[in-house]
A and B are shown apart, each in its own frame.
Chain A
């Protein structure tokens, strides 16, 4: 760059755009890595977060003026590491001298060995520790967003609609428990790995659905959570490429999220898959989700996430409602109900049967679920009965069922959907 180039406003803008892009990319790829290694070496979660936050703040100030460093990750690592060394030197903490010396030595040598030394392992350790079952589900979700995804405490508080102080307390309590209760910083050994991995996936799916199914008012704000969940799931796929359910979960999230822009109508009402404008579906997300599903299928027996992803893929592959392969969807629900029975799966299976074999069969199947009483008070049961009754032309009975569903529903977009249906059957 020529001397004085930065006085040219055009060049200065270009430098800013470059550094913004580099910062965004570094946030994606470096935040979790650097925090994860700092936690392993120091055992101090707050120190690790603060030092990495400092490094990024310094980058925000410097990169636009001085240019993006050749290796942004190494630059950020060095800054964060030096901050950590400073802080440890200043606070001659209560920890024993011997341990302190070991920590300082390990910190100092960090980054001087082979570049990727154990860093991938550190990220996995971090994810498993954040999702440890001895923490509350709320704490697991918040901690994953803070340390793995690098969201700030105010951002997480806004996403969960709680005051910032509440979220700060929640995070602090979780970090204290990790240290006080002796929650280990490691990838669990083989004999508990499957169980703990399913716990990690459950946290990511909660994170995703929090964002995906957010009610209308907070929709824009909370969609970010679905994106973060996908980002962490992508990292997990890189770290555990042979685990079919990790691939299955990522596929499921991508395929569901591909319909994000199509699922809410002009007036904020919820649109069912049949009513959505399919041209609004995100084709690249569908392609990636379908590819992930294929990888999962190759790697192993179909788990719950993979089966759900396969169902989502059937919808995604259909150009119109009538082209949907409901017979295959019903078969997939049969398998899901067999391997992971639950009342909600039973209801979905009944609906899929109806879509494939006709409304009379659907009504009969949903009535069986209703008789089991397991879903008493759940609005989707009368809503599904109403839909099949409507298709059978039994409008009076349909209206009664829609009214019952409306009395049970809590989310606004869903209520509006039901009210619209009630008007359509002439009430």
Chain B
């Protein structure tokens, strides 16, 4: 099953400590296990652009679609046997400690 990992910040998490950031190790591990489909960091919300079509008219605005204290800082798509494996993978990501991770199962669109 494919899961999207939304890697988010969390004001209540322990403060980010670059010395404890083992993201390279995490990526190596999931790549070696053949779980990782792809993933990256995302530029901060200041660089976000929101796009809407309203009444046939294109509306482009600066910024994210919701303002909040937490934001999504990265994503990973992982292909796991089940939710338990996805939880295990997510729990080892450094941002599980310094932020939080939301796991969303992909919902294949059968066309």
Question: Which A residues form the contact surface with B (CB < 8 A)?
Answer: 132, 134, 180-184, 188, 192
Contacts and interface: CB of A to CB of B under 8 A. Distances in A.
Given A180-B107, A183-B83, 16 more contacts: A132-B83, A134-B83, A134-B87, A180-B105, A181-B83, A181-B103, A181-B105, A182-B1, A182-B83, A183-B82, A183-B84, A184-B81, A184-B82, A184-B83, A184-B84, A192-B84
A147 to B, nearest CB: 18
Contacts of A132: 83
A277 to B, nearest CB: 49
A184 B85 CA distance: 9
A188 B84 contact: yes
B75 to A, nearest CB: 18
Nearest to B88: A192
B86 interface: yes
Contact of B86 (A180, A182, A188, A192): A182
Contacts of A182: 1, 3, 80, 82-83, 86, 105
Nearest to A183: B83
Chain B interface size band reads 10 to 19
Nearest to B84: A184
A183 B80 CA distance: 11
- By CB atoms of chain B within 10 A, which of A134, A181, A183, A192 has the most? A181
Contacts of B87: 134
Contacts of B83: 132, 134, 181-184
A273 B34 CA distance: 59
Interface string B1-20: 10100000000000000000
Contacts of B80: 182
Interface of B: 1, 3, 80-84, 86-88, 103, 105, 107
Main secondary structure of the interface of B (DSSP, over half): mixed
Contacts of B84: 183-184, 188, 192
Contacts, number: 25
A174 B3 CA distance: 19
A181 B82 CA distance: 8
- By CB atoms of chain A within 10 A, which of B1, B81, B105 has the most? B105
A173 to B, nearest CB: 15
A288 to B, nearest CB: 35
B104 to A, nearest CB: 9
Contacts of B81: 184
Q: Which 7 pairs of residues, A with B, have the shortest CB-CB distance?
A: A184-B82, A182-B1, A182-B83, A182-B82, A183-B83, A181-B105, A181-B83
25 contacts: A132-B83, A134-B83, A134-B87, A180-B105, A180-B107, A181-B83, A181-B103, A181-B105, A182-B1, A182-B3, A182-B80, A182-B82, A182-B83, A182-B86, A182-B105, A183-B82, A183-B83, A183-B84, A184-B81, A184-B82, A184-B83, A184-B84, A188-B84, A192-B84, A192-B88
B47 to A, nearest CB: 31
Contacts of B3: 182
Contacts of B82: 182-184
A6 B83 CA distance: 56
Contacts of A184: 81-84
Nearest to B87: A134
A334 B105 CA distance: 45
A183 B1 CA distance: 11
- By CB atoms of chain A within 10 A, which of B3, B82, B86, B88 has the most? B82
- By CB atoms of chain B within 10 A, which of A132, A182, A192 has the most? A182
Nearest to B107: A180
A180 B83 CA distance: 10
A181 B103 CA distance: 9
Nearest to A132: B83
Contacts of B88: 192
A192 B85 CA distance: 11
A180 B82 CA distance: 10
Nearest to A189: B84
B111 to A, nearest CB: 14
Nearest to A134: B83
A132 B83 CA distance: 10
A15 to B, nearest CB: 48
A184 B82 CA distance: 6
